[in-house]
Structure 1
Amino acid sequence: MKKINKLSNWSFWLLVFISINSWSQIQRVEPPFWYAGMNNPELQILFYGENIAENEVSVSNGISIKSVQKTENPNYIFVTIDTKDVAPQEMLFSFSKNKKVTFTKKYALKQRRENSASRQSYDSSDLIYLLMPDRFANGNSKNDNHKAMLEKANRDNPSSRHGGDIEGVIRNLDYIQELGATALWATPLCEDNDSQGSYHGYAQSDVYRIDPRYGTNEEYLKLSSELHKRKMKLIMDYVTNHWGMEHWMMKDLPTYDWIHQFPGYAQTNYRMTTQFDPNASKKDAKLCADGWFVKSMPDLNQSNPLVLNYLIQNAIWWIEYANLDGFRVDTYSYNDKEGIAKWTKAITDEYPNFNIVGEVWMQDQAQMAYWQKDSKIGAIQNYNSNLPSVMDFTLMDALTVAFNENQSDWDKGLFRIYNNFTNDFLYPNTNNLLTFFENHDTNRFNELYENDFKKYQMAMSILATVRGIPQLYYGSEIGMAGNKKDGDGNIRQDFPGGWDGDVNNAFTKAGRTAQQQQFFDFTSKLFQWRKTSEAVHFGKMTHYVPENNVYVYFRFTDSKTVMVVVNNNLISSEINPIRFQDNIKDFKTGKDVFSGKQMNLENNIVVEGQSVLVMELE
């Protein structure tokens, strides 16, 4: 009896020793857990700790280890297991020296949501609302600062953190929904521990953790849940090209070539054309793709299989964990071309309906179309990015200039917008282009047009009725302005009413100024109507060559037709419907979606100067 007690006592202290040793030996495990029943059953787990590679690894329950990969850094082990037909469970990894277990680590394989793989995503029936969480609303002032985070809140500094957070977004979802938005894109919420300018979130220091100044991982799940209760969608801003210098791996790289080194730092030349230019020098092409975006953002090497797999698994983990509805991928065309194509394919293989829009900031439709999935232009070079959607920067360029050109000209005024659509034949899928007239990196539209409401009406109406997925940048709907020349903080101002003590609360009708209400009412009415228009969502488009600075186009299905007339003249214009009979067909009247007024399509149509007419034909 005493021997049994002694043995039991010895076993107890052995387990305690192993547990304590495990705590000290393993500092990181990524992904922190995984899911059973994935399309790709292979899971590569990163274990990080001092000299952890000195150990041999085994796992419980008969689970197969496919490979154990060690690098030149003894603080890492990459263990690949096969999860095919493995039920959700808690497995145990054992780490041994000289055939003796020195420490263990539990690892959870969790149950996926039902029908997770077939989840739907955002499409051209949606309106995406883009916001910067730090500048939108401060729902919890207690998390403005965090002892482990270098930068502290200072609302007086346009370049510092201001305290906006996830709770602030959740509190104002009714406002976003009232606008007619059906999807939310927030700039990155993962931890960014830069000492300054960390509010933008693109220099991430931990890609498995929400920045504590925004909230917690659990609060991000709450945001997802609250959106889904409203039948709205959550889009994560994902960064594959770079991390921040404060990322924990930058202190102790798994491999020298985890990031691009020259050795050390070299800045990209930003010449994305080198990625497909048949005449480009190899040196220029390498500097574009491998050079760092800025000195504080080490450039990730997607041609390293360990890096690529890490990024794929991190993206999938967030989709499963937070029940995401889509990605927007930052600086897509700066990545290793082949690597980012594999990353994108791995995501869409796992989730066939999952939409991903890439930032391809170029001023030429052919060059942007190159990056869309199944592009015939890319096929010339045997390249397919697998990227479902790209951002329509050329349309943005046209919209931010055209309405200051009141005279009809060969290539100015509304011809700029018309000409943008004449190149739609270059894109494999025009309905899956992201359309916008500003975002967090550009001049504010209302700054460029000096809060001219008529010009805002014309541009926003076009955005709401042409092909593609419209995106609205927070504050446009209340007339917010800002000049990028005065610094990024000027185009990323705090939303009025998002902080206690704000004199102006634009989140409520009672708190808005007359001008803010004018902008809001128009925007809300336009996009609430858009929710109902199948012709605008998925219909075909026919447009007519602008005459006298008046642009007319139609969106239509077999049963529904919407007619849009944009008059960029300073005075009223009259158009004869006979010219558009191919699209008007047997329709007799058109209902103005703003006023509800019925217009006789057998008579000439008068459109006021610098205005837009959107009609449902009846």
Structure 2
Amino acid sequence: MKNLLSILILLLSMTLFSQVEKIEPPFWWTEMHNPELQLMVYGKDIAQYDVAFSNTIQITDIKKTENPNYLFVTINTKNISPGTYELQFSKDNKILETRSYELKSRRENSALRKGFDSSDLIYLIMPDRFANGNPDIDSTEDTLEKVNREELSGRHGGDIQGIINHLDYLDDLGVTAIWSTPLLEDNEPIYSYHTYAQSDYYKIDPRFGTNEDYKRLASEMHKRDMKLLMDYVTNHWGSKHWMILDLPSKDWIHYWENGENGFQRSSYRMTTQFDSNASEADKEACMNGWFDTTMPDINQKNPLVLNYMIQNAIWWVEFADLDGFRVDTYSYNDKDGIAKWTKAIMDEYPNFNIAGEVWMHNQAQMAYWQKDSKIGAIDNYNSHLPTVMDFTLHDAILKMFLEDEQGWDKGMIRAYENFANDFLYPDINNMFVFAGNHDTNRINDIYGSDVSTYKMIMTLIATVRGIPQVYYGDELGMLGNKDLKGDGDIRRDFPGGWEGDLMNAFTAEGRTAEQTEYFEFSKKIFNWRKSKSVIHTGKTMHFVPENNVYVYFRYNAQDKVMVIINNNPEVQILDLKRFGEMIGPTSNGNEILSGERISLENTLTIDGKASMIIEF
């Protein structure tokens, strides 16, 4: 009877314990470059218990924080075989709970996966606004904001299945890679479609689908030789993140004593990160300030935070079979912390690629953030970031096509001056080149639905050095002005993505004549670009624009392409002798936009507000 009572008491204590709520990462892989793995264990007063693996895995370190609900348990996976292992929780030498933990086998050659590069054309999607493939998940019980397509800044119901359903459309367009704005759970009560205030870093937002759906998206893309980029946010988490609601330690985030609930907005002065004259107070105001009230600023100086983020990023690469990251607000992070994060991922995947959002308006300042920058070396800094986004080219595109007449610093000279500074960058082929994204006014709105201007812009984007990125719907002439109607206006629903839409621009018969002109031009130039290594990695020679006409050549040992962009509203006749050092003895070429043979012997005539691409 006494023995039976002891057993009942033990069983009761085990039942009452059962308080391990989370272990993250939820599983891992063997044979990783870095064999150390740190498990974050979360549960009520979990720190009072002893932990051990029941078999061959040895725990090398255990860290506790000021919050007793956390344990950080480090193990070494070197020479450990794939399998399921038992993690035991005990007190006073009594095992109270056992949790299984799995170490999986990696995909073959996972470490050598090839990331996106300048041979790709990247298509940026806001998933909530692209297509609704599964209406059953538009609203869910465990997320706060419900679908409301009538609300410009609300959730509209687009999802992962919607993207999968239209991969053939993107393939036909000439897209080779997709960058989707974040798909992880964002459980803010409003504006959650934006998804940059994430509430769970190991969970796809259920209104988009499941983790398995995300993996399936990558798989379906790989069948079409397309690549998937994850939009990763290192700088801030969402205010509803479960760890923010029960912080492991106060220094997990940047907490401002004088601010309301620890909030102080960032100064956004990124120049303080490398300004040799900057005050420490100004540096802190930029790096440690919050991006917004719903986005607590994460402290990457805390090694537990940094390791958590490194492991999470690697987990998604392995789990979903990713081909790259685009990192949000890269230059707002602690600069040393984000460099360690980037290097850890690139060490794990040497052929991977990561693009960082460095929204600055000066080439030297942007070049500072690219891997192996000579500018960064001035203060012994190396971000290890392969790719930066060419925001100065974007700045030029927003202005120069409105300037019909060329001035000393106006018109096409803006493009010329942008590329004249290429010497600042360690790797000019690893530059995102773009005309717009989810944070900028639509280019077709800026230029008043002028398809001729769109064609000039896309000619530029598709033929200069770097990695072209286009924003969903621009290929249809989609409009949007956030200055007038807010961010929701530049993130309109793709026509045809919802059942009952009056038109379906995913199909040729569903497009208007105007949409067709946009689409067919985009399709021609994007698909032409796919096989042109001279465009992907060739050198550039450009000529100072005259009469608002910009001429440049892309060339390598085998091929040569001449690009002409006439931003003058009048017809221009070019004296080809000026370009003799590149044209050489060539007498004609093939103009790929019109399909015509072009004589290159004396002069060349180009219409006003037009472009030409001539293959020799």
Identical-pair percentage: 59
CA distance in 2, matches of 1:454, 1:556: 26
Alignment of 1:99-114 (within 5 A): 99-114=93-108
Q: Which residue of 1 aligns with 2:172?
A: 178
The reply to whether residue 516 of structure 1 matches residue 515 of structure 2 is yes
Q: Deviations over 1:369-397 (max 9, x none)?
A: 00000000000011001100100000001
Q: Kindly tell me: are residues 94 and 21 of structure 1, through their superposed partners in 2, closer, same or farther at Cα, counting changes over 3 Å?
A: farther
The reply to whether residue 561 of structure 1 matches residue 563 of structure 2 is no
Q: Which residue of 2 aligns with 1:541?
A: 540
Q: Which residue of 2 aligns with 1:454?
A: 452
Q: Which residue of 2 aligns with 1:242?
A: 236
CA distance in 1, matches of 2:91, 2:406: 80
The reply to whether residue 338 of structure 1 matches residue 336 of structure 2 is yes
Which amino acid counterpart does residue 613 of structure 1 have in structure 2?
A: M
Question: Which of 116, 127, 137 is matched with 2:121 structurally?
Answer: 127
Q: Which residue of 2 aligns with 1:370?
A: 368
Give the superposition deviation at 1:25. Answer: 1.1
Q: Larger deviation: 315-324 or 548-557?
A: 548-557
Q: 3-state DSSP class of the match of 1:220? A: helix
Query: Contact 1:138–1:499 at 8 Å: present in 2 too?
Result: yes
Question: Which of 418, 421, 429 is matched with 2:419 structurally?
Answer: 421
Query: Contact 2:590–2:615 at 8 Å: present in 1 too?
Result: yes
Q: Which residue of 2 aligns with 1:292?
A: 290
CA distance in 2, matches of 1:154, 1:97: 50
Query: Contact 2:328–2:357 at 8 Å: present in 1 too?
Result: yes
Q: Deviations over 1:438-478 (max 9, x none)?
A: 00000110010001011100010000000000001000000
Query: Contact 1:18–1:103 at 8 Å: present in 2 too?
Result: no
Query: Contact 1:136–1:169 at 8 Å: present in 2 too?
Result: yes
CA distance in 2, matches of 1:144, 1:14: 46
Q: Which residue of 1 aligns with 2:603?
A: 604
CA distance in 2, matches of 1:467, 1:352: 22
Q: Which residue of 2 aligns with 1:88?
A: 82
The reply to whether residue 144 of structure 1 matches residue 138 of structure 2 is yes
CA distance in 1, matches of 2:281, 2:565: 47
Q: Which residue of 1 aligns with 2:579?
A: 580
The reply to whether residue 206 of structure 1 matches residue 200 of structure 2 is yes
Give the superposition deviation at 1:60. Answer: 2.4
Query: Contact 1:21–1:103 at 8 Å: present in 2 too?
Result: no
Q: How well do the aligned residues superpose, as a CA RMSD in angstroms?
A: 1.6
CA distance in 1, matches of 2:294, 2:137: 25
Q: Which residue of 1 aligns with 2:494?
A: 495
Which amino acid counterpart does residue 509 of structure 2 have in structure 1?
A: A
Which amino acid counterpart does residue 148 of structure 2 have in structure 1?
A: N
Name the TM-score, length of structure 2 as normaliser. Answer: 0.97
Q: Which residue of 2 aligns with 1:305?
A: 303
Query: Contact 2:577–2:602 at 8 Å: present in 1 too?
Result: no
CA distance in 2, matches of 1:146, 1:469: 37
Structure 2 segments unaligned to the other structure (5+ residues): none
The reply to whether residue 431 of structure 1 matches residue 429 of structure 2 is yes
Q: Which residue of 1 aligns with 2:482?
A: 484
Q: 3-state DSSP class of the match of 2:401? A: helix
Q: Which residue of 2 aligns with 1:218?
A: 212
CA distance in 2, matches of 1:529, 1:16: 69
CA distance in 1, matches of 2:613, 2:212: 43
Q: Which residue of 2 aligns with 1:475?
A: 473
Give the superposition deviation at 1:408. Answer: 1.8
CA distance in 1, matches of 2:10, 2:529: 62
Q: Kindly tell me: are residues 14 and 322 of structure 1, through their superposed partners in 2, closer, same or farther at Cα, counting changes over 3 Å?
A: farther
Question: Which of 91, 95, 106 is matched with 1:97 structurally?
Answer: 91
CA distance in 2, matches of 1:18, 1:616: 78
Q: 3-state DSSP class of the match of 1:57? A: strand
CA distance in 1, matches of 2:595, 2:451: 20
CA distance in 2, matches of 1:435, 1:160: 29
CA distance in 2, matches of 1:361, 1:170: 30
Query: Contact 2:553–2:582 at 8 Å: present in 1 too?
Result: yes
Give the superposition deviation at 1:15. Answer: 9.4
Query: Contact 2:127–2:181 at 8 Å: present in 1 too?
Result: yes
Q: 3-state DSSP class of the match of 1:147? A: coil
Q: Which residue of 2 aligns with 1:53?
A: 47
CA distance in 2, matches of 1:231, 1:16: 54
CA distance in 1, matches of 2:126, 2:7: 51
Q: 3-state DSSP class of the match of 1:248? A: coil
Q: Kindly tell me: are residues 25 and 611 of structure 1, through their superposed partners in 2, closer, same or farther at Cα, counting changes over 3 Å?
A: same
Q: 3-state DSSP class of the match of 1:53? A: helix
CA distance in 1, matches of 2:81, 2:11: 28
Structure 1 segments unaligned to the other structure (5+ residues): none
Query: Contact 1:18–1:104 at 8 Å: present in 2 too?
Result: no
CA distance in 2, matches of 1:469, 1:367: 20
